[in-house]
C-alpha cells in the first residue's frame, strides 16, 4: 500500500504545480508608449516641447506603472494627468493625476486602476497631458498605445 501512496502524492503535487503555473500564465503585462507633442493637444499648441511615456499594466493586479520624460516646455509643469476615455483629438476627464514629489523630468509613478479604467487604457482611450502656466489646458499631449 505504501508504493501506491507515493504516486498519488506525486500526482497531487503535479496538479498543484500545474494550477499555479496556469494561474500565473493568465496574468499579462501589457506595455504602452506615447509621444508627447503640442500638435496632439486639443486644441493644438505651437509648442516645440517633446516627450514620451513608457508604461505597463499588469492585467491581474491592474498595477499601472509609468515613466514620463519631457523637455522644452514653456515653464515648469504645474499639473500632469492621464485622461480618458477619449480617442485622439477628443478630450476626456482626468482619470489619474500624476502624483509625484516633483513633476520635473523624468517622472516615475504607479497606481492600481479600477477594472473600468484598465479596460479603457487597453482600448487605447487614455492620454497624458502636461500642463504649465503658459498652457493651463495642456502644452503637450500623447495618446497611450500598446507597443
Domain range list for the chain: 28-146
pTM for the model stands at 0.81
| Separation between Cα atoms, residue 139 and residue 53, nearest integer Å | 15
At 92-142, the pLDDT tens digits run 999 999 988 899 999 999 999 999 999 999 999 999 999 999 999 999 999
Over residues 13-23, mean pLDDT = 43
Is residue 5 pLDDT above 80, yes or no? no
Q: What are the beta bridge partners of residue 67?
A: 54, 108
Cell, residue 69? 520624460
The phi-psi region of residue 23 (left if phi > 0; otherwise alpha if psi is between -120 and 50; otherwise beta) is alpha
Residues in the chain: 147
Among 133, 129, 9, 21, residue whose Cα is nearest residue 70: 129
At 48-96, the pLDDT tens digits run 999 999 999 999 999 999 999 999 999 999 999 999 999 999 999 999 9
Amino acid at each position: 500500500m505504501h508504493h501506491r501512496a507515493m504516486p498519488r502524492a506525486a500526482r497531487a503535487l503535479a496538479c498543484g504545480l500545474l494550477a499555479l503555473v496556469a494561474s500565473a500564465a493568465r496574468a499579462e503585462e501589457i506595455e504602452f508608449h506615447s509621444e508627447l507633442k503640442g500638435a496632439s493637444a486639443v486644441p493644438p499648441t505651437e509648442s516645440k516641447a517633446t516627450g514620451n511615456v513608457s508604461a505597463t499594466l499588469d492585467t491581474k493586479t491592474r498595477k499601472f506603472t509609468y515613466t514620463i520624460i519631457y523637455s522644452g516646455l514653456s515653464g515648469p509643469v504645474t499639473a500632469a494627468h492621464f485622461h480618458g476615455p477619449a480617442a485622439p483629438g477628443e478630450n476626456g476627464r482626468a482619470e489619474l493625476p500624476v502624483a509625484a514629489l516633483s513633476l520635473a523630468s523624468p517622472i516615475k509613478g504607479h497606481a492600481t486602476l479600477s477594472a473600468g479604467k484598465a479596460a479603457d487604457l487597453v482600448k487605447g482611450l487614455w492620454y497624458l497631458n502636461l500642463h504649465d502656466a503658459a498652457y493651463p489646458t495642456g502644452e503637450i499631449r500623447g495618446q497611450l498605445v500598446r507597443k
